[in-house]
Amino acid sequence: MTKEVSDVKAEFSHSVSDETPNAQAASLKSGDEVTNTQAAFPKSEEVEEFPEVVRRTIRLEQQVDEELEQLCSRERITRETFLEAVYLVCSDKPEIFQEVLAIAKQRYRQRKTAGEKRKFQTMGKKYE
């Protein structure tokens, strides 16, 4: 039996579903055949509508990193999407945004001071 591409697209749509892709694939009968598989991929216009993303490496305090990892794993999100959401919420709430900035600036000063101390310790060891 041959299925039309539109039928396959409907079965494998990106709508919110509790069904995993493997479960969706299993719903095809063993005799089913998909025609014109290229049509099942997103069109280039659809892909161009996706926001552009960039790659960044971030350094986090170990305890914060562990807690954030647990949160993201439990909620089934990524660190990146969590960070984006936090920024978007804060940017709409100036009071919260200022509080977050104050904490961020304090942590920045602490890290800068710690980094300078480590640098001087390393330099001191070279001259011993």
How many Å apart are CA 67 and CA 60, to the nearest integer? Answer: 11
CB within 8 A of 79, min separation 6: which ones? 58, 68, 69, 72
pLDDT in tens, 63-99: 999 999 999 999 999 999 999 999 999 999 999 999 9
| Global pTM value | 0.54
